[in-house]
Structure 1
Amino acid sequence: MLEMKPCRAIALALVVAAQCASLATAAGPRVIIVGAGMSGISAGKRLSEAGITDLVILEATDRIGGRIHKTKFAGVNVEMGANWVEGVNGDEMNPIWTMANGTGGLNLRTFRSDFDHLASNTYKQDGGLYDEKVVENIIERMDEVEESGSKLSGTLHHSGQQDMSVMAMQRLNDHMPSGPARPVDMVVDYYQHDFEFAEPPRVTSLQNTQPLPTFSNFGDDVYFVADQRGYESVVYHVAGQYLRTDRKSGAVTDPRLKPNTVVREISYFPSGVTVKTEDDKVYRADYVVVSASLGVLQTDLIRFKPQLPSWKIVSIYQFDMAVYTKVFLKFPKRFWPEGEGKEFFLYASGRRGYFPVWQQFEQQYPGSNVLLVTVTDDESRRIEQQSDNQTMAEAVAVLRKMFPKEDVPDATEILVPRWWSNRFFKGSFSNWPIGVNRYEYDLIRAPVGRVYFTGEHTSEKYNGYVHGAYLAGIDSADILINCAKKKMCKYDVKGKHD
């Protein structure tokens, strides 16, 4: 994460005036959308509903979906990126759940994830299980501290000036004041925080994550998507509502979608925008919506001319792009416990985040003999830079330590997604930094002239989630529609303390 000194100017109330369309034809303005992930596709749908159909969607990869992407592994389709519908069975209906398993009609094959039995499935560094009561006590204490943190969070000033890290809150509650030291404390702490946010409690904001709006609003349940059509079928479902698709295959055939088109430069003027691609093509439009990931915006893949103003650059660099890596391993036979309450298990290493959270797929992919282990942050970056054979050897060595009495064979296949190394993503999802509030979210979402921004990182309440990406696309499209159709082109950003 790059550090920049805060610019005093952005502490003032900011008004971003997007130019009104002067060259738009009677059919409406022409809009370029950069990126065909969930946010870009969602924004396109919203624009189309408002009658803005002169669109072109420039996508760097050969597919739509972005960080929602299935791939074939060990004879089944598994998810390299987003895998859960998070926030189900609450007071409000998660829009992604509606599409995946509700009235949307997709009826994806999903499984409610049951994390209630971790206390009886936590393995020592050198093998064997911890006493269930010992782990239960740690989890109960952790839950007490989280509840106390949520209450404290509600008392802090909305400006974010009193915000603190989750770790600082833990210390205030005399909870492992020096940080978790024992392997078992570390892995429970990791499961509680890093497994959700992909970064440790010392860098995660208390005020923005406790309580977490996703679960407060949509419910505490999470459902694992294990459908052979892939989680990406939700993105295709949205796309199919305004882009022409092949009825048999479901593939998008609409000529307005341009795959394998890498945007390298966006120039913006009072009268319009031009977008240059890596193959030296130039696209012209009235507006552009940039739905590239936060990680991409923090690199020089896309150059803006003129350079974005300092308040915009600072807002982009203030947020973290986290890395969350799901490593899939295929074995010739099963050697791990199965049955009710055995889906998830933890490995308590003395090295925080070292192959910590495991999942077996007795229900989801029966007979596949596949295990999933999740790593994040520094371990993700380390693993991305070494060979898959090295990662496979490390993971199998951990399993042999966990199950010393079992005949643990070598893995036969491994899948290691490399979101951080991929120049079109540069990470998995954004994480809440400390001290950020609605003001910074208004800044990161704010248009610069005719350049509009969307993506899960622009969702004030649901960043990092698929539903956040979907809703952000709608929100950003509405800002553009207000300008292009209603001539309401002022985007007001209230001051940080207002």
Structure 2
Amino acid sequence: MTTTKTIPSVIILGAGVSGIFAAKALKEAGINDVTVLEGRADVIGGRLHKAEFPPGSGRYVEIGGNWIEGLGNKGDENPVMPLAQKYNMVYTATDFTNTTYRGQDGSSDQTIFKERLEVFTNMFDSVCTIAEERTKKDLLDVSLRTAYRIAGWNPDNELDNSIEWNSFDYEQAETPDVSSFEYTADLKTFTNFGEDSDFIADQRGYQHIVEEEAKALGLGYGSDRLLLNKVVTEIVWAEGTSATDSAMSLQLDLPIEKQSRVTVKCKDGSSYTADYVICSFSLGVLQNHDVKFTPTLPSWKLQAINQFHMATYTKIFIAFPHKFWPDETEFIWYGADRRGEYSNWHNLEAKAYKPYFPHDHVLLCTVTDQVAFRIERQSDKATQKEMMAVLRNMYGQDIPEPIAILVPRWNHDPLFRGTFSN
């Protein structure tokens, strides 16, 4: 007797990278009855998201993901790179060591800066070696701050704070104090794929990759299987089942009639039912209980969701009528009085980027963690005033007022509640 296998129906929640590539994996497994619900009203791509800047210029910057990190190492290729090449994305190499340091008084003694940077770099190399040894011995994890202290690094001035913040927080979006020694001392992306990174400068936006992959799956804009402006409020399993039951039935490949149906309810009053639901919400959304699960998720899953940190990484763009800063390096590190406050300025007038921003005089300043949270809560006008105070410390009182500023607010966006997990 031949048994006909029923193809299950699946709803994917979220049309970012995770959601669209989940759809791709399902299609490769022969599952084509897939519908994607996206909370945004007009665009997919998740935190790959472009914005016009300066306003009215017709030119775009990335307010979310911006780099292909790790371009290949020992034969291993970052899976993002073939996609960028497939769609002829425009990108340029970033040299994070091409940096000028400036103190609060505008001083720019690069000799002392390079000496202290070398001290930090050597310390960090030794910490990475220690982390590998501890992992092999299965020793109890500690904070990265603990490791720094053991290795003799104790920052006590603005220069050291700037070096530490730019060397760690700028990548991880949180401090060494709350970060795992074992998992952040030696970042796996760069270990696996190399230390080089490419900056996406494509005017179609980094999101173009996701849009094209979705289109190839029949999930492009206008498709009846991609539903926009669907903000999920509740996910309901059939009575007497749980998240664990549904997940196990999928893993064990049980017949469809033995599986429970799942209903997704949306803010606009609509609801959708399928055999399975894949939830690609950010960790921040799950931690903020923006979506109700009925019945509730099991305790082990709630613990896993809540034990991680959802960090905030905010890229502030500020444009001027002309270039006034003399520095030609790709980055300018600032010795802030308060650690991490406007400590990294990405010079989009530098040689590597100027071909892609030919008519703009733009600086990109990155803030993270508590500074980012504070800035999200205040007005753009207040943020601009603070940034100008820093720039005048570095370059004098006669610099021009900006013509535009762009301050993303990922932490306050109910569809994200942050940028990425530490």
The TM-score, its normalising length taken from structure 2, stands at: 0.89
In the alignment, which residue of structure 2 is the partner of 1:425?
416
Whole-angstrom CA distance in 2 between matches of 1:407 and 1:109: 36
Whole-angstrom CA distance in 2 between matches of 1:184 and 1:417: 28
Secondary structure of the corresponding residue to residue 43 of structure 1: helix
| CA gap 1:300/1:160 in 2 versus in 1, 3 angstroms | farther
Structure 1 residue identity aligned to 2:49 = H
Match of 2:340 among 353, 356, 364: 353
Identity of aligned residues (%): 42
Secondary structure of the corresponding residue to residue 178 of structure 2: coil
| CA gap 1:254/1:27 in 2 versus in 1, 3 angstroms | farther
2:223 maps to 1:254: yes
Q: Quote the offset at 1:241 in angstroms.
A: 2.4
Q: Quote the offset at 1:84 in angstroms.
A: 0.6
Deviates more, 1:107-116 or 1:198-207: 107-116
Secondary structure of the corresponding residue to residue 137 of structure 1: helix
Q: Quote the offset at 1:349 in angstroms.
A: 1.1
2:69 maps to 1:94: no
In the alignment, which residue of structure 1 is the partner of 2:252?
none
Whole-angstrom CA distance in 2 between matches of 1:277 and 1:295: 19
Q: Quote the offset at 1:338 in angstroms.
A: 5.0
Secondary structure of the corresponding residue to residue 416 of structure 2: coil
Hey, which bits of structure 1, 4+ residues long, moved more than 6 A? Answer: none
- Does the aligned pair in 2 maintain the 1:96–1:234 contact within 8 Å? no
Whole-angstrom CA distance in 2 between matches of 1:71 and 1:314: 36
2:286 maps to 1:297: yes
Secondary structure of the corresponding residue to residue 192 of structure 1: helix
- Does the aligned pair in 2 maintain the 1:160–1:207 contact within 8 Å? no
Match of 1:50 among 7, 29, 40: 29
Whole-angstrom CA distance in 1 between matches of 2:279 and 2:69: 25
- Does the aligned pair in 1 maintain the 2:101–2:334 contact within 8 Å? yes
Whole-angstrom CA distance in 2 between matches of 1:368 and 1:306: 52
Q: Quote the offset at 1:212 in angstroms.
A: 1.3
CA deviation string 1:215-260 (max 9, x = no partner):
1111110111011010101111321221254xxxxxx221111110
Q: Quote the offset at 1:416 in angstroms.
A: 0.3
In the alignment, which residue of structure 2 is the partner of 1:132?
110
Match of 1:286 among 275, 282, 287: 275
Secondary structure of the corresponding residue to residue 355 of structure 1: coil
- Does the aligned pair in 2 maintain the 1:128–1:403 contact within 8 Å? no
**Superposition map of 1:364-379 within 5 A:** 364-379=356-371
2:200 maps to 1:200: no
| CA gap 1:217/1:157 in 2 versus in 1, 3 angstroms | closer
In the alignment, which residue of structure 2 is the partner of 1:72?
52
Structure 1 residue identity aligned to 2:95 = D
CA RMSD of aligned residues (A): 1.7
- Does the aligned pair in 1 maintain the 2:219–2:225 contact within 8 Å? no
CA deviation string 1:262-282 (max 9, x = no partner):
111111234221111111212
In the alignment, which residue of structure 2 is the partner of 1:153?
131
2:20 maps to 1:30: no
CA deviation string 1:293-330 (max 9, x = no partner):
00000012110011111111011000100000000001
Structure 2 residue identity aligned to 1:274 = T
Whole-angstrom CA distance in 1 between matches of 2:321 and 2:98: 27
Q: Quote the offset at 1:210 in angstroms.
A: 2.5
Whole-angstrom CA distance in 2 between matches of 1:244 and 1:184: 50
Structure 1 residue identity aligned to 2:125 = E
Whole-angstrom CA distance in 2 between matches of 1:161 and 1:112: 38
| CA gap 1:295/1:238 in 2 versus in 1, 3 angstroms | same
Whole-angstrom CA distance in 2 between matches of 1:53 and 1:253: 18
In the alignment, which residue of structure 1 is the partner of 2:91?
110
Q: Return the structure number with greater relative CO, CA threshold 8 A, min gap 6.
A: 1
Match of 1:390 among 382, 391, 397: 382
Whole-angstrom CA distance in 1 between matches of 2:261 and 2:276: 6
**Superposition map of 1:319-334 within 5 A:** 319-334=308-323
Whole-angstrom CA distance in 2 between matches of 1:286 and 1:244: 19
- Does the aligned pair in 1 maintain the 2:311–2:421 contact within 8 Å? yes
Structure 2 residue identity aligned to 1:115 = F
Whole-angstrom CA distance in 2 between matches of 1:311 and 1:29: 27
Structure 2 residue identity aligned to 1:145 = M
Unaligned runs of 5+ in 1: 1-24, 246-251, 432-498
- Does the aligned pair in 1 maintain the 2:123–2:152 contact within 8 Å? no
| Residues matched between the structures, number | 390
**Superposition map of 1:400-415 within 5 A:** 400-404=392-396, 407-415=398-406
**Superposition map of 1:440-479 within 5 A:** none
Secondary structure of the corresponding residue to residue 179 of structure 2: coil
Whole-angstrom CA distance in 1 between matches of 2:236 and 2:139: 36
| CA gap 1:415/1:214 in 2 versus in 1, 3 angstroms | same
Structure 2 residue identity aligned to 1:78 = V
Whole-angstrom CA distance in 1 between matches of 2:326 and 2:229: 44
Structure 2 residue identity aligned to 1:264 = T
Unaligned runs of 5+ in 2: 242-259
Secondary structure of the corresponding residue to residue 68 of structure 2: strand
Whole-angstrom CA distance in 1 between matches of 2:124 and 2:62: 30
- Does the aligned pair in 1 maintain the 2:219–2:226 contact within 8 Å? no
Deviates more, 1:107-116 or 1:419-428: 107-116
2:214 maps to 1:239: yes
- Does the aligned pair in 2 maintain the 1:244–1:254 contact within 8 Å? yes
